[in-house]
């Protein structure tokens, strides 16, 4: 992968109308604070905020005075969502050459930039064709409109399908102590084996809003570790992901600068092997075989 991503990626899904609805000034300040702390990679998708959040971020970024090269922008394409500003009859995926190129050009315009550091296909489509996708990606790369190309939420067979025509450098998928099917469905094995950079979305797995038996077991298992590691619950949840040998980069969703600082400090926590399994057992509700 050509792009050097920050150790913790800042997810921007809730910066706009799908969440905090920050003003331009608030976004400007948050972008500065993130960069001051070394969080230079920002994760977007065309659909965030019903196709509005990239533009809100782009407007704010253009006012920061920060050089474009100081940050890395990830964005995604492919989800066609039913919304006022699009003439879609149903939510669907579109990976035609024309749509991918059009969508990236929209993202560039909205983000006030000439290039995306990373473009991801947001979700696998049952109708995607690797040849058509590769034609779009090669054209975008030749024109300098994207640097790295990757996927999101793709299983090993789907990554292989795309790689028949074009290499992928990264996959962004859900992975947390709460939701770790990536261990069982082969995704983590595949990215490790093929040197594909892994990023995990929802790295906290909704832990703080869950009222499930699984969340209670995890909470109980975390208690003695809070003191042992002098860490908070969210730091231990991140440390659990970070121990995986695939070197997964968390894409954190908080837009609270204090919580971003807490997430950054989680990088230093080295979870003991058996503590990792204590938490894994709490997540699964049973011992490993």
Ligand X SMILES: NC(=O)c1ccc[n+]([C@@H]2O[C@H](COP(=O)([O-])OP(=O)(O)OC[C@H]3O[C@@H](n4cnc5c(N)ncnc54)[C@H](OP(=O)(O)O)[C@@H]3O)[C@@H](O)[C@H]2O)c1
Which lies closer to ligand X via its Cβ, residue 157 or residue 256?
Answer: 256
Q: Among 177, 198, 252, 282, which residue interacts with ligand X (rule: CB under 6 A)?
A: 252
The reply on whether position 56 binds ligand X by CB under 6 A is no
Q: Find the helix or strand (DSSP H, E) in which 220 lies.
A: helix 213-228
Q: Among 5, 8, 12, 111, which residue interacts with ligand X (rule: CB under 6 A)?
A: 12
Taking CB positions, which residue lies at the least distance from ligand X? Answer: 253
The reply on whether position 202 binds ligand X by CB under 6 A is yes
**Radius of gyration (Cα) for the chain, nearest Å?**
19
Euclidean distance between CA atoms 124 and 93, whole angstroms: 8
Annotated active-site residue 81? The verdict is no
The reply on whether position 271 binds ligand X by CB under 6 A is no
Euclidean distance between CA atoms 92 and 90, whole angstroms: 6
Q: Among 23, 256, 270, 272, which residue interacts with ligand X (rule: CB under 6 A)?
A: 256
Token duo for residue 276: 């990792």
Q: Among 234, 271, 275, 283, which residue interacts with ligand X (rule: CB under 6 A)?
A: 234
Strands 249-252 and 92-93: unpaired
The reply on whether position 152 binds ligand X by CB under 6 A is yes
Residue 248 CB contacts under 8 Å (≥ 6 apart), including other chains:
175, 188, 198, 199, 200, 241, 242
The active-site residue, picked from 48, 51, 95, 190, is 48
In the block, residue with structure tokens 């730091």: 235
The catalytic residue positions are: 48
Residue ranges in contact with ligand X by CB under 6 A: 11-14, 43, 122, 152-153, 172, 201-204, 208, 234, 251-256, 259
């Amino acid at each position: 992968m050509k792009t050097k991503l920050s150790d913790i990626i800042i997810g921007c899904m809730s910066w706009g109308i799908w969440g905090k609805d920050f003003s331009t000034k608030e976004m400007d300040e948050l972008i500065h604070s993130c960069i001051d702390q070394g969080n230079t990679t920002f994760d977007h998708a065309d659909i965030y905020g019903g196709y509005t959040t990239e533009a809100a971020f782009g407007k704010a970024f253009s006012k920061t005075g920060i050089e474009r090269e100081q940050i890395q922008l990830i964005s995604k394409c492919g989800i066609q969502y039913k919304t006022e500003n699009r003439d879609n009859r149903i939510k669907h995926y579109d990976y035609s050459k024309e749509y991918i190129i059009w969508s990236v050009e929209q993202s560039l315009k909205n983000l006030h930039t000439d290039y995306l550091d990373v473009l991801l296909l947001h979700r696998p489509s049952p109708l995607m064709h690797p040849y058509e996708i590769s034609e779009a990606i090669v054209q975008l790369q030749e024109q300098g409109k994207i640097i790295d190309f990757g996927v999101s939420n793709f299983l090993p067979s789907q990554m292989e399908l795309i790689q028949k025509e074009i290499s992928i450098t990264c996959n962004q998928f859900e992975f947390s102590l709460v939701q770790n099917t990536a261990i069982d469905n082969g995704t983590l094995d595949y990215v490790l084996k093929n040197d594909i950079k892994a990023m995990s979305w929802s790295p906290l797995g909704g832990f703080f809003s869950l009222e499930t038996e699984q969340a209670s077991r995890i909470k109980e298992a975390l208690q003695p570790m809070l003191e042992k590691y002098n860490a908070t619950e969210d730091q231990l949840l991140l440390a659990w992901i970070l121990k995986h040998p695939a070197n997964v980069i968390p894409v954190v969703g908080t837009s609270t600068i204090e919580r971003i600082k807490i997430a950054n400090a989680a990088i230093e926590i080295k979870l003991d092997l058996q503590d990792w399994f204590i938490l894994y057992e709490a997540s699964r509700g049973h011992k490993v075989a």
